[in-house]
Chain A
């Protein structure tokens, strides 16, 4: 075989490899999306009539919501402060210090509070949930449940699913309030805007309940994505301790990507 022919073959192989990689990537995404869809179907099927293990729901709600409060508080206070620090030069340039409440308010309520809360909760609650479910799968506890004729979906998955959605909704409410509090303090310290005139920026008609509702609506949708991703990857864990690590990694990545992609479409739809 001539050198040119060998080179040609090598090039063909490289193209084939590349096509194979792309195809495998697409198949992988399709598999995950399909798995989540099937899981969502199973969860919804158990909601009518609701077959939930209420003690498990309460335990999960405590673990997910109450234990996440410190992180949400710190994140929200700092985020509110950063919003004002970033808005300060723009507001000063326009000579409209009175508008800083509005500027920090709409970004916080509509985008930043739901987004950052979702990212933090996804790191804490979603990842933790995957790790827990993954450990159960790896140590065959789910098979044990099935042997005892206990439905793992209504006993384990449904309480976690509902827990994550409710947690994210409530934490977004907290984050809204706390971020605005942090922003008020920073505006006073940095721009010498009195808290009352900061507050006036909210109530003077530029912002409405629609902005809060917009953010809360988003948080519910993010919650569904996060809950589905974390339960799906947890249930699909295989391969011991490294497998659990991989599953957690996959959950975090899928939730973050899902949250940002959906954020765009939801913003667009809600206007």
Chain B
């Protein structure tokens, strides 16, 4: 027991927690922007996967880190734009459209991986690059503080900064005001000449941009290769983190850290005799339980039991 506590409370564990949280946090911030605009982005999983793939392939074939990042971000944002185009212009059900994109991402990355490298499992044969860690001078010399603050991956720092940027964007800028207005009452926004379609388009693309950073982190920071379906449900956990955190970036960040640290704890638990499959499913079980409790409290607060008022459904118009 003592040993276990030590494992959980070590600096390594905290570092691992932050590392694991990073992609969830980025995708969850994306989920936040999309949700604020009233268009839930279920395709985060697929967008992360595609960006992870593009990053590895571009860096492997061009040897340029910057090109890899740029292309990873562009393609991820483009995926979100496709989702937006179908959902907003062609009136495809946004959830079905996102499921289609996730299927595309899962199968498409394997297809292109096979076509480019001849391997369907991972990109081991591609000599791809890593986005570096950042050591903050001076602070890294301070004993405990240095361990916590310094030496993380550069995308992790970007993600932390983005919590504040997203919060500022949503609550202090014209764009944020418009996104929230469109999400809460699209007719009101339309009536003052704000294009609902355009605003939602922007929000979805921003969410795609954030998720693509998360994807790049997975294949170029967390590990240094691409493997099939390597996102492993992180896009979905991000949605859960957003649901918990509400329409507030700090709340969403808290939710992301909760899930990230649960996942990190599940790795720490592997040193004990707990089967790998249990520790692996722990984050998902925790997510379900937390979502259940959260929903239960909401039901109790509203006192309504009719299902007809639930928020996500295939034909919300």
Q: Do A and B come from one complex?
A: no
